Structure 1
Amino acid sequence: MSAVDTEFVEGFGGAKLAVHRIGAGRPLLLLHGLFSSAEVNWIKYGHAALIAEAGFEVIMPDLRAHGQSAAPQEPGAYPHDVLVTDLQAVVRALGLSDYDLGGFSLGARTSLKGVIAGLSPRRLVLGGMGLEGLVKWGGRSAFFLDVIARYGTIPRDDPAYFAQNFMRSMKIDPVAARLLLESIEGAGIEDFAAVTMPTLVVCGTEDRDNGSPHALAEELAQGVLAEIPGTHMSCVTKRELGVEIARFLAA
């Protein structure tokens, strides 16, 4: 299997976005989750290589304020749904027209919002996502904004401790992360009418951090559900995540 190649494209406002690529074949654009990176979500545990071996070119941007991408601290760099604007910029910069799209957690939310905004992948993958995580985003966002507000002071027995440590290990800039979170909006069920393509909802059996994956699959015109072992965090380490994505895309 070939090595992962990295290039940079311009997102909103000229921000440099790192884009990692592996494999050859039909393009699959995959977005990682909050406070994570393409390396942690898709490369480290072998998902990208597994999907590439199934005949795909796996294209994995680092989202703004994550990984090797720019993390500007100016409020003007984070307009409404800037991640969707960045996603559209990546699609244009890479000349993608016939491709598949997916993501995990925040990446899933961004992928779905991209479709609502007009992107038209052949197939869509929503990982680590449930219905409430999309239509009741405010509650989920408030949790992470609290983590950022108390960053560095959260005690070990606090439910937010793990998120704080993950931010620290990933070297997330709290200022940029707060601005990014404040730019994100959820989706209404009425918006799902735009999601007409076959859509895989893949979620850990112990993962209900973003609500019910079953309810989400039922709300989508061509939604199918695949459950894999693990919690919201641990399912990313399981080979089954890559297996289910590859199986769905190859069908």
Structure 2
Amino acid sequence: MSGPVTEQFESFDGTRLAVHRHGKGRPLVLLHGLFSSAAMNWIKWGHHEAIAAQGFEVLMLDFRVHGESEAPHEPERYPTNVLVRDVAALVDHYGLDEYDLGGFSLGARTSLHATAHGVLEPKNLVIGGMGTAGLGEWHRRAAKFRRVIDEFDTIPRGDPDFFSMQFLKSQGVDRVAARLLLDTMPDLDLVLLDAITMPTLVVCGDEDRDNGSAEELADLLPNADYVEVPGTHMSSVTKPDLGRAIARWLGGQT
């Protein structure tokens, strides 16, 4: 099988977004983590190939401000939950009817917001690297990244946020656009998880506590399976176990 094909489309506000398509079969919309990209989360480590081998077409979006998508500087391009609206625009653009949805970290919380609020209704849902704190207490995690952006050039080696600063630098993140994007992400009232009734996989690294308890999140979802894979929040996505776990679970859904 050849590598992913990259396409672009215009989202609801005209922002051009990149989508990397791979495989044939049932569509799976797959969303990456904060300040990462489809290439970094899914393609580099072969997760897209493991999933496609189960009979799926994987549509990997680069969120705005990430990867090969545009990073506009106009504040009006950043309404509340703009990423949910971008994913909905992708579903509309490709005319997806019956499809699955999944994501890691930011991609997971975006998927949960979209389904909890009834914006999207995938048949199956995959939630990676996300726990209850990453939903109900997102403002705390967002504050960390605001500090990284605002104090980018002065964070010293040894500071708890130094690694995050280095990661942003390595990904070439547009800090003006990133700062605007952070203010679009509200907390999610955990009561709304009751509305997410489709089969759901919650998969998380066995050393990953960055977003709180993933097992607790799985317990709160009406129809969820919980699977642990090796690794921390940063390392679990680099190991083949993550892609295999997603592929195995999706392959078992009817």
Residue number in structure 1 paired with 2:193: 192
Is 1:132 aligned to residue 133 of structure 2? yes
Residue number in structure 1 paired with 2:72: 72
Code of the aligned partner of 1:115: T
Code of the aligned partner of 1:140: R
Report if aligned partners of 1:78, 1:180 keep a CA contact under 8 Å in 2. yes
How far the C-alpha of 1:102 sits from its partner, in A, is 0.4
Is 1:52 aligned to residue 52 of structure 2? yes
Q: How many residues align?
A: 251
How far the C-alpha of 1:152 sits from its partner, in A, is 2.1
Mapped to 1, the partners of 2:30 and 2:51 lie a distance apart of 11
Code of the aligned partner of 2:149: I
Residue number in structure 1 paired with 2:241: 240
Code of the aligned partner of 1:169: S
The runs of 4+ residues in structure 1 deviating greater than 2 Å are none
Code of the aligned partner of 1:133: G
Mapped to 1, the partners of 2:231 and 2:153 lie a distance apart of 28
SS in 2 for 1:176: helix
Mapped to 2, the partners of 1:77 and 1:159 lie a distance apart of 31
Report if aligned partners of 1:28, 1:56 keep a CA contact under 8 Å in 2. yes
Mapped to 2, the partners of 1:94 and 1:150 lie a distance apart of 40
TM-score (norm 1): 0.98
Report if aligned partners of 2:194, 2:220 keep a CA contact under 8 Å in 1. no
TM-score (norm 2): 0.97
Residue number in structure 2 paired with 1:14: 14
CA RMSD of aligned residues (A): 0.7
Mapped to 2, the partners of 1:153 and 1:228 lie a distance apart of 35
Is 1:157 aligned to residue 158 of structure 2? yes
How far the C-alpha of 1:116 sits from its partner, in A, is 2.0
Deviates more, 1:3-12 or 1:15-24: 3-12
Mapped to 2, the partners of 1:12 and 1:216 lie a distance apart of 31
Residue number in structure 2 paired with 1:145: 146
Mapped to 2, the partners of 1:199 and 1:136 lie a distance apart of 21
Mapped to 1, the partners of 2:153 and 2:129 lie a distance apart of 27
Q: Deviations for 1:178-213, whole angstroms, at most 9, x for unmatched residues?
A: 100101112111111220001111100110000001
How far the C-alpha of 1:232 sits from its partner, in A, is 0.3
How far the C-alpha of 1:3 sits from its partner, in A, is 1.6
Code of the aligned partner of 1:160: D
Aligned positions of 1:17-28 closer than 5 A: 17-28=17-28
How far the C-alpha of 1:84 sits from its partner, in A, is 0.5
Residue number in structure 2 paired with 1:178: 179
Gaps of 5+ in 1: none
Mapped to 2, the partners of 1:153 and 1:20 lie a distance apart of 35
Mapped to 1, the partners of 2:14 and 2:111 lie a distance apart of 21
Deviates more, 1:35-44 or 1:113-122: 113-122
Gaps of 5+ in 2: none
